[in-house]
């Protein structure tokens, strides 16, 4: 599906909002997209007049954002419900030798479908090469590259499909990594250390060779999704494109290197990476909802920019949930279920809530067959591809409610928790994870609640006002609290603090209230709302390292506060991302943004005054 076809169809179905006002690539466009995708019925946004007000620049290329704006649009992009694609994958995984003519024909039709997965290499030039800029004509300033957050280190390409090729084998890779614009002909590639692109770079660097890179932007939205698909190493992500579209992707050779890219993408940036040239990258407000710190990453020297005659610049915005990755992640979750079940056969279903930033929380419905089976499955998951970055996993039995029925599912979990439910271990974590006390390695928490309902361990649930009074007498750091699920066997109490010391000291004092407290979760009083469970889940799942911040004793404690050196944490704790208040107010004054103050605070879009 060409991007022009996509836009025509989403416009016909009233899923598209075209914004003709001249809006700034610095904050205005990304802020508007950031707020839009959080609405109940978000739209795809097309900005037809992007400008750079600081540089006095007008761009001839429109900006497309929120391509995966909601569930309906995501299903339209895939051409069918992701569960249907998962069923097709499962049928191929479980092919059996045919026993009849009908079976043979059915098997043949399934295998015949696989002929579409392999990319075809065209000898002709593609649509993406209708306009070619090389040598002195190379100028990244012709592209409406965005600055998303006030404290970002510069402008970043956020939807770049990065195509690379291994040095030792003829293996091509497609990945999505943020890309910082350094100058008119230099970019910084944020390759996380565990990713295939980084592994390829290490090969070139080891032998001192320049590494070719081609960055594609736009084209069929499915290319963008394929770039984040968690395929095993050495599998080219565009194989998935062919399987889903049921037609071979057509690739063309880049103008200045041997890397092949889809012929119908909108823009291609070609270049190479010097083996020893690195540069400080960031900070950048990433999908965790926090700024990631400045670190050194490789520099790409741009040798060519090619594009369609009328290109569209696709971008995405990352930050606090919910965002576009909610819908992309939903598709990934459904499509990859049969592949995960092939590794973990007793898994029935799984779900990764977007407020848990996906890699921070997984809930799985399993069918445990023997003692210890649940913990065996936990370890199996932590050893599977990108699941190895997963921090927290909760395992429920086959009788559990739907995994997206959060209220009833929470009750199911809390009614089955015992001290034996918890498994804390250590493993690799995402390079963007800030909560681990050591970079790249941190605690992992598995929770097994596949057993029967347990007995209640507290004597009396106090009224919040009474409980707060008693807790404040124990420690002066405590500001407020809110209780959740008080009708379950293990109620939860969130406690907001003005932190002056390790929370472990406060936790020890609260043990005296073990008849009234079961699960205690500490959060900072600043920038948190106790009556907002959606954002509380985001905060807690982001901010804990289970090895240090989870205490299973007379009561159970979780420290989700900001960590400081007196906690034994010696890294730099990052800041939250917030939209620029002045930019938001200007967008409201221009009637481009129609949301209430409460909406802005609910999703922590702007910093609340006085907090």
The pLDDT value given to residue 610:
47
Residue 396 belongs to a domain: yes
Single residue among 449, 476, 506 that ends a domain in this structure: 449
Please give the pLDDT value at position 103. 55
Q: What are the C-alpha distances in Å from 283 to residues 52, 152, 471, 577?
A: 21, 5, 39, 11
- For residue 611, the model assigns a pLDDT of 46
pLDDT in the model for residue 85 = 93
- Region of 21 (left: φ > 0; alpha: ψ -120 to 50; beta: rest) is beta
φ/ψ of 107, rounded to 5, equals: -65, -40
Maximal CA-CA distance, the chain: 79
What integer pLDDT is reported at residue 108 of this predicted model? 52
Are 152 and 297 found together in one domain?
Answer: yes
Write the CATH number for 390: 3.40.1670.10
User: Domain boundary residue among 423, 449, 475?
Assistant: 449
Shared domain for 192 and 240, answered yes or no, is yes
**Displacement of CA 32 from its chain's centroid (Å):** 19
User: Residue 363: inside a domain, yes or no?
Assistant: yes
Asked whether residue 350 falls in the same domain as residue 290, the answer is no
So what's the pLDDT on residue 106? 59
Residues of the chain with pLDDT below 50 are 610-611
**Could you tell me if 275 and 369 lie in one domain?**
no
Q: What is the pLDDT of residue 115?
A: 76
Domain membership of residue 332 (yes or no) is yes
The answer to whether residues 178 and 261 belong to one domain is: yes
- Domain co-membership, 11 together with 128: yes
Q: Residue 249's closest CA among 78, 441, 117, 416?
A: 117
Number of domains in the chain: 2
CA angle 199, 202, 208 (to 5 degrees): 150
> What is the per-residue burial (b if ≥16 Cβ within 10 Å, else e) of 465-501?
eebbeebeeebebbbebbbbbeebbbbbbbbbbebee
Model pLDDT, residue 110: 57
Does one domain contain both 299 and 328? no
Q: Give the CATH number, domain containing residue 159.
A: 2.30.110.10
Percentage of the chain exceeding pLDDT 90: 79
| 507 found inside a domain | no
In a domain, 370, yes or no: yes
Find, among 610, 611, 609, 605, the residue nearest to 285 by Cα.
605
474 assigned to some structural domain: no
**pTM for this one?**
0.93
Residues 206 and 267 in one domain: yes
Q: What is the reported pLDDT for 453? A: 92
Element of type H or E holding 3 = helix 3-12
Q: Which residue has the tokens 């490789």?
A: 298
Are 383 and 284 within one domain?
A: no
Q: What is the pLDDT of residue 449?
A: 95
Whether residue 520 is contained in a domain is answered as: no
CA distance 401 to 412: 8
**Is 86 part of any domain?**
no
Residue 278's contacts (CB-CB under 8 Å, 6 or more residues apart) are: 296, 297, 298, 299
* Domain encompassing residue 175: 3-80+110-314
Domain boundary among 431, 449, 467: 449
In this structure, are 373 and 328 located in the same domain? yes
């Amino acid at each position: 599906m060409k991007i022009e076809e996509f836009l025509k169809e989403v416009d016909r179905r009233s899923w598209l909002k075209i914004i003709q006002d001249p809006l700034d690539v610095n904050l205005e466009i990304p802020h508007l997209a950031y707020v839009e995708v959080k609405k109940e019925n978000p739209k795809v946004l097309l900005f037809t007049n992007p400008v750079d007000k600081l540089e006095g620049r007008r761009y001839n290329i429109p900006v497309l954002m929120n391509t995966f704006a909601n569930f309906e649009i995501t299903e339209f992009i895939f051409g069918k419900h992701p569960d249907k694609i998962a069923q097709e994958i499962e049928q191929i995984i479980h092919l059996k030798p045919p026993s009849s003519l009908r079976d043979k024909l059915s098997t043949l039709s399934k295998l015949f479908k696989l002929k579409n997965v392999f990319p075809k290499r065209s000898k002709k030039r593609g649509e993406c090469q209708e306009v070619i800029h090389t040598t002195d004509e190379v100028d990244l300033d012709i592209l409406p590259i965005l600055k998303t957050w006030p404290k970002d280190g510069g402008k970043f390409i956020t939807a770049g499909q990065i195509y690379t090729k291994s040095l030792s084998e003829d293996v091509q890779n497609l990945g999505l990594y943020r890309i910082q614009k350094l100058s008119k002909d230099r970019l910084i590639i944020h390759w996380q250390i565990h990713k295939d692109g980084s592994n390829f770079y290490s090969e070139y660097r080891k032998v001192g060779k320049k590494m070719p890179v081609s960055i594609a932007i736009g084209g069929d939205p499915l290319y963008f999704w394929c770039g984040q698909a968690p395929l095993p190493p050495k599998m080219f992500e565009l194989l998935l494109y062919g399987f889903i579209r049921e037609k071979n992707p057509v690739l063309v050779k880049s103008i200045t290197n041997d890397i092949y890219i889809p012929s119908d993408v909108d823009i291609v940036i070609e270049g190479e990476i010097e083996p020893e040239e690195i540069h400080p990258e960031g900070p950048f407000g990433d999908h965790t909802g926090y700024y990631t710190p400045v670190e050194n990453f490789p520099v790409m020297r741009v040798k060519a920019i090619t594009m369609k005659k009328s290109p569209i610049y696709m971008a995405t915005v990352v930050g606090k949930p919910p965002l576009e990755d909610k819908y992309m992640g939903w598709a990934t979750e459904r499509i990859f279920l049969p592949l995960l079940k092939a590794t973990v056969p007793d898994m029935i279903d799984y779900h990764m809530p977007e407020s848990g930033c996906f890699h921070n929380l997984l809930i799985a419905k399993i069918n445990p067959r023997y003692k210890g089976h649940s913990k065996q499955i936990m370890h199996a998951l932590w050893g599977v591809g990108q699941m190895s970055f997963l921090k927290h996993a909760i395992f429920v039995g086959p009788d559990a409610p739907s995994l997206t029925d959060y209220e009833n599912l929470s009750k199911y979990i809390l009614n089955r928790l015992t001290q034996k439910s918890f498994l804390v271990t250590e493993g690799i974590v995402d390079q963007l994870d800030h909560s681990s006390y050591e970079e790249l390695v941190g605690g992992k928490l598995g929770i097994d609640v596949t057993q029967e309902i347990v007995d209640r361990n507290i004597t009396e649930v106090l009224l919040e006002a009474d409980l707060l009074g008693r807790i404040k007498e124990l420690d002066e750091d405590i500001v407020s609290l809110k209780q959740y699920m008080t009708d379950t066997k293990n109620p939860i109490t969130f406690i907001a603090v003005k932190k002056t010391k390790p929370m472990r000291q406060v936790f020890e004092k609260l043990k005296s209230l073990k008849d009234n407290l079961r699960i205690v979760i500490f959060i900072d009083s600043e920038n948190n709302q106790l009556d907002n469970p959606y954002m509380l889940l985001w905060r807690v799942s982001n901010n804990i390292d289970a090895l240090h911040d989870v205490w299973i004793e007379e009561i159970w404690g979780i420290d989700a506060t900001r960590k400081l050196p007196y906690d034994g944490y010696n890294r730099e704790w990052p800041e939250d991302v917030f939209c620029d208040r002045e930019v938001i107010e200007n967008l409201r004054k221009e009637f481009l943004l129609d949301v209430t103050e409460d909406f802005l605070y609910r999703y922590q879009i702007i910093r609340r005054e006085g907090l």
